[in-house]
Structure 1
């Protein structure tokens, strides 16, 4: 009996997430098909013009928007940002620096500070236990 190895495929939404792009902004043939692991690797190593353009100018999915603004996804929602934004819109938000963005950035900074404190404490405990 010969085993046939099938190519691993994923839905376009999964591939878009892995590529860090907003699915609705991708070309129709990308959205309507399936993406193999080999195709995904090819897109990552040698991105076509449409992918480079999306990564550069957007619209960007919420995780990318949140990272570019330095806030959490929940912070975006609290600020009323529920849709994908272009790079230009993100830069405009940064320049305007509304109150909600200032608050969410401060919250995110506190979260990171607390995470670092806990990591350090755990490392010290680990060293003592050794």
Structure 2
């Protein structure tokens, strides 16, 4: 369904905007944390990110979905590994460089789950 001009002026909570931008809200500037951006404003942030957004995406701290993705594990795997806080890019890289046993295990589990999902998807398309 195409968006009407009225739809682009709808506002969203800052938590929703942060999730869509893939950033950790408490690390964003105060004015963003209390803002209620419109869809158009969010699209503008995506097209022309300010320096704070570029820096936050580059160095973090990152929200759990981003951390999980960069470590190639699930969000549940993060929790099982005891990671409950946002991590910086440097912390994520340290885990990748010298993975603890829990991370190796979670990567194997995640790889098996993804392989099974792909197998099932291939079966569905073959039918």
Shared fold (TM-score greater than 0.5)? yes
Aligned to 1:8: 10
In 2, the alpha carbon distance for the partners of 1:123 and 1:28 equals: 47
Pairing partner for 2:47 from 45, 51, 59: 45
> 1:63 Cα deviation (Å)?
0.1
Partner residue of 1:23?
25
Deviation at 1:22, TM superposition (A): 0.2
SS in 2 for 1:9: coil
Instruction: Provide the residue aligned with 1:64 in structure 2.
Output: 66
> Rg: which structure is higher?
1
**Is the counterpart of residue 76 in structure 1 residue 102 in structure 2?**
no
Query: Which residue does 1:128 correspond to in 2?
Result: none
Q: Which segment is superposed worse, 113-122 or 100-109?
A: 113-122
1:118 positional shift: 0.7
Q: Which of 23, 33, 36 does residue 34 from structure 1 map onto? A: 36
| Superposition TM-score, scaled by structure 1 size | 0.90
Task: Give the secondary-structure state (helix, strand or coil) at the position aligned to 2:84.
Answer: coil
Q: Please tell me the root mean square deviation across aligned C-alpha atoms, in Å.
A: 1.0
78-87 or 112-121, larger mean C-alpha shift: 112-121
After TM superposition, give the deviation of residue 122 of structure 1 in Å: 1.3
Give the match's secondary structure for 1:17: helix
Q: How does the TM-score come out when normalised to structure 2? A: 0.92
Counterparts of 2:124 and 2:30, CA distance in 1 = 48
State the shift of 1:107 in Å. 0.4
Moved over 6 A (4+): none
Q: Which runs of 5+ in 2 are unaligned?
A: 1-5
Q: What is the alpha-carbon distance in structure 2 between the residues aligned to residue 33 and residue 117 of structure 1?
A: 43
